[in-house]
Amino acid sequence: MSGRLAVVGLGPGSPEQMTPQARHAVAAATDLFGYGPYLDRIALLPHQTRHASDNREEISRAGAALAMATEGRHVAVVSGGDAGVFAMAAAVCEAIEHGPAEWRAVDLEVVPGVTAMLAVAARVGAPLGHDFCAMSLSDNLKPWDLIEARLRAVSAAGFVIALYNPISRARPWQLGRAFEILREHLPAATPVISGRAAGRPDERIAIASLGEADATVADMATCVIIGSAETRVVAREGLAPLVYSPRSAGRIST
């Protein structure tokens, strides 16, 4: 008997930014899997069982959830933000590809959500208003050389860059090194936005220039957005400045 598996993006944290589709998918589950702090956002119903795991156990969590779905349970695997952006949907697909044949028969639904960069961008204006990219800065799953090459490629080509997983206790120097690389390709005045817990009571948003950006303000849950050479900062009296990337572009640095 094949059950159902929903991989659900809970949004950046505020219930105001969780879609009804995500709320319904969570409510319909008998079993909820995820990283503990994401599961903590959900008030369990009486018929629901919670399966919390550490945030680096993505593949084993995906396998456990798939195994339970094949037993006929209705399983939800939750992620913060969007389910498919540096989150659990890719781990579930990977587990399906390499797992037992019956996992391919599971009724799989991926429920999208507002990913962190969109919530952070909204708090300062529209820094993602033109071509942009999203990169994980974690070198747990890819070589650091590749990350450096990608940072150089996209900054030279004029993309705004959103960095996920910018720093952790085990990876303390990577964000500082990323700023160094980007300073080779972008003006010192390029705006850098660090956003954490956007839309939540403990929200922390900071705007700096690339020349003065300090990697120590970020943690694992921070999304860091680095503008392009065309990104603008608009001062406002008595209000936070606006940061936006114009809809038109004309230059490319080489």
Q: Does 58 bind a copy of itself (CB under 8 A)?
A: yes
Residue located via tokens 């799953």: 141
Up-side HSE of residue 28: CA atoms within 13 Å toward CB? 15
Residue with Cβ nearer a copy of itself (156 or 217): 156
Minimum distance, C-beta of residue 105 to a copy of itself, in the bound complex (Å): 7
User: Which residue in the block uniquely carries the two structure tokens 């890719």?
Assistant: 90
Q: Residue from 10, 64, 114, 218 that binds a copy of itself (CB under 8 A)?
A: 114
Q: How far is the CB of 251 from a copy of itself (least distance, A)?
A: 8
Please identify, using beta-carbon distances, which residue of 43 and 239 lies nearer to a copy of itself.
239
Dihedral of alpha carbons 186, 190, 196, 200, sign: negative
User: Of residues 29-48, which lie at the interface with a copy of itself (CB under 8 A)?
Assistant: none
Minimum separation from the CB atom of position 139 to a copy of itself (A): 11
Please identify which residue in 33, 86, 221, 227 interacts with a copy of itself, judged by CB under 8 A: 86
Least CB distance to a copy of itself at residue 194 (A):
17
What is the C-alpha to C-alpha distance for residues 33 and 51, in angstroms, rounded to an integer? 5
Q: Which of 136, 171, 208, 209 binds a copy of itself (CB under 8 A)?
A: 136
Residues 126, 153, 179, 188, Cα dihedral to 10°:
-70
C-alpha radius of gyration, the chain, whole number: 20
Q: Which is nearer to a copy of itself, 46 or 81 (CB)?
A: 81
Q: Which stretch binds a copy of itself (CB under 8 A): 37-45, 70-78, 121-129, 167-175?
A: 121-129
Is residue 15 at the binding interface for a copy of itself, with CB under 8 A as the rule? Answer: yes
Which residues in 229-248 contact a copy of itself (CB under 8 A)? 232, 234-239, 242, 244-248
Q: Site residues for a copy of itself, window 203-232 (CB under 8 A)?
A: 232
Contact (CB, 8 A) for 148 and 181: yes
Cα 113 to Cα 19, 147, 243, distances in angstroms: 7, 26, 23
Within 8 A by CB and 6+ apart from 158, the residues are 131, 228, 229, 230, 249, 251, 252, 253
